[in-house]
Structures are given as C-alpha cells and as structure tokens.
Amino acid sequence: MNKIFMFDALREATDEEMDRNASVLVIGEDVGHYGGSYKVTKGLHAKYGDLRVLDTPIAENSFTGMAIGAAITGLRPIVEGMNMSFLLLAFNQISNNAGMLRYTSGGNFTIPIVIRGPGGVGKQLGAEHSQRLEAYFQAIPGLKIVACSTPYNAKGLLKSAIRDNNPVVFFEHVLLYNLQEEIPSEEYLLPLDQAEIVRHGSEITILTYSRMRHHVIQAVEILSNEGYDPEVVDLISLKPLDMNTIAKSIMKTHLVLIVEECMKTAGIGAELIAQINELVFDELDAPPIRLSSQDIPTPYNGNLEQNTVIHPHQIVDAVKNIVKVS
C-alpha cells in the first residue's frame, strides 16, 4: 500500500495507461512542460515527448475537436480541461461530435476519449472557475460521466475510463487533489457504472458524490454517535446512474436524502428523484429531500461562497428531520 495524494493517483493512472498502450496521449493547456495546473501530468512530457503530451493554445473547441478526430482514427486521447468550466467553449464538440458520432456513423466510429479536469466550488476562485457542470453534460446522449472522490477510486476509475471505448467525462473536485489515502501498489481497475456503498446502515439512505462524500462522512460520524444509522452511497457514476444499487438501498431504509454540490434546479438530485419515484415510489416512507447548492453564480467573497454549498451540520439536521417526520 502506498499513501499518495489524489493528483498523484491520477498521474499514476495516466502514466500506467500511457506505458501500457502507445495509442494513449494527453492533450491540453500546460499539460506538457509545466506538468498541468494541478500537476496531474507532471513528468509525463519528459518521459513520452511532444507527440504524446501535447501543449495546446488556449482554444478549447479546437483541441477538443482535434482529440475527437484522433479518437476516430484509433488513438485514445485524454483531454485535460485546465478548469472544467473552460470546456463550455467546447460544448458543441463534446455534444455534437463526441456524444453522437458513434450513433450517427451507424457504429462505424468509436470515440475512446476521456475529458477530465478540476471543477466544483473551490476557495475563492470566482464564479467562472467554480462551476458545477455535471448536470450540463448529463443531458448529452452518448456520454459516460464519472465523479471521483478519493485517491483510490480516482486511480481505478481513470484507468477504466482510458480503456473504455466510449467518451467519458471525468470530474475531479478542485479541493480534493491534496486528499491523501493509501492505495494498492498493484494494478487495479474499478467499474465506471457502479455506485459505492461507503457505509452500510438501516435507517436512511444518503446519496452523494465527489466532495460532498466527505461532508456526508463528517455528518454521519456525528449522527452515529447519537444513535442514528444512515447508509451512505457514493454515486460515482453520474451517467448512467446505478439505480440498481440505489433502489436496493432505498428498499432497505425507505428514506432518502440527496446531498450534492450541483445546483438544485435541474441538477443531479432532480434526476435522481425522478428515477427514484419511477422505480421505488411505493418503498418510500417520506418524500426524497435534496440538499443542493444555491442557484446563483458562486460568489468570490469567502463567506458568501461558503453559504452557497452544503455543510455537515445541515446534513445532520436534515437526517434528524426526515427520520422524525417518517
């Protein structure tokens, strides 16, 4: 077991897959000589050279389109968005090309591309660098969407994403790069379409993902000390949602709380509630509840920024209220 940071886990996954398969390459701004804005590609340029670690101009639509074209020819590009918000400039390429070409070509093309990078609310990064874009991309047919939350799952999921023959949008939270964890020294891969049961419980199901997993864990420590028994499920896969695992948990607890950093309106939680109501409505003892970020651009002011996202004490209060009402 090696204790490493999450950015190192992502770098190891990339390095191992580039070493394993010569068709894997990295494309993005400052990914080469500089080693990536969060050091996920540090040292890879010196090892693999210009043709496999490509520094690009500031032109997200151009280099994302180039990567999709490279994927069509049989390469396996990894596109790093220096900040995922910048990839809104490549939304056309991601939706009309990456998501659709396998279908519109009648299956003649596959698009084995990974689009990855940091997102989420950071520490006073400003509105344009603090966006939560998972719901934007969830609406695009043809994409897989993954949100890592620990060094362990970051490495295993990224390796699986690189080997997948479908376009994968891979979300990393900007505040989790320095999270440390012991991970196996031997190779491992994790499934892209399965949720993780972080804690087994019998009283209420808490669905969460990315950074909010850690806020939920803090809240659960308080709740368990007070006699509550929540089950915690990290979604991992945001598209497709692992409704099998989610439904089984709800059929056991009969109560649901969703904790997300995504916006409340048309967010991941909204889609979860829709599918829960379709699949296991009769199992619910109370309506599903969402704790979501406020529907505003993230303020630069530190105190206001903190007030836009969910914190452990709010999760504790919500669980107590739901259990009491039921």
83 with 115: CB under 8 angstroms?
A: no
28 with 56: CB under 8 angstroms?
A: yes
pLDDT band of residue 216 (cuts 50, 70, 90) is very high
Catalytic site residue from 12, 29, 60, 261: 60
pLDDT digits 0-9 by tens, 58-94: 999 999 999 999 999 999 999 999 999 999 999 999 9
pLDDT band of residue 326 (cuts 50, 70, 90) is confident
38 with 72: CB under 8 angstroms?
A: no
pLDDT band of residue 279 (cuts 50, 70, 90) is very high
Neighbours of 300 (CB within 10 A): 13
pLDDT in the model for residue 312: 98
199 with 175: CB under 8 angstroms?
A: no
pLDDT in the model for residue 325: 83
Half-sphere exposure of 93 (CA within 13 A, CB side): 23
pLDDT band of residue 271 (cuts 50, 70, 90) is very high
Section 177-190 average pLDDT: 96
Distance CA 130, CA 17 (A): 29
Per CATH, the architecture of 196-325 is what? 3-Layer(aba) Sandwich (3.40)
Query: Two tokens at 303?
Result: 């105190």
| Long-range residue pairs from 237-240, CB within 8 A, at least 24 positions apart, any chain | 237/144, 237/145, 237/146, 237/192, 237/193, 237/194, 237/195, 238/134, 238/138, 238/145, 238/146, 238/147, 238/171, 238/209, 238/268, 239/137, 239/138, 239/143, 239/144, 239/145, 240/144, 240/193
| Same fold for the pair 2-183 and 196-325 | yes
Section 16-32 average pLDDT: 97
Distance CA 309, CA 261 (A): 6
Is pLDDT of 2 > 90?
no
Going by their DSSP bridges, the two strands 168-173 and 144-147 should be labelled as: parallel
Q: Is 60 a catalytic residue?
A: yes
Per CATH, the architecture of 2-183 is what? 3-Layer(aba) Sandwich (3.40)
Query: Two tokens at 250?
Result: 């709800």
Is pLDDT of 281 > 80?
yes
145 with 192: CB under 8 angstroms?
A: no
Catalytic site residue from 12, 17, 80, 129: 129
Is pLDDT of 54 > 90?
yes
3-state secondary structure of 74: coil
Average pLDDT taken over every residue of the chain: 96
Query: Two tokens at 79?
Result: 């596109």
Section 314-322 average pLDDT: 98
pLDDT digits 0-9 by tens, 103-131: 999 999 999 999 999 999 989 999 989 98
pTM here? 0.96
Section 301-316 average pLDDT: 95
Is pLDDT of 276 > 90?
yes
Longest CA pairwise span in the chain (Å): 61
Residue 73 carries which DSSP code?
Answer: T
Instruction: Provide the residue ranges of all domains of the chain, joining segments of one domain with +.
Output: 2-183, 196-325
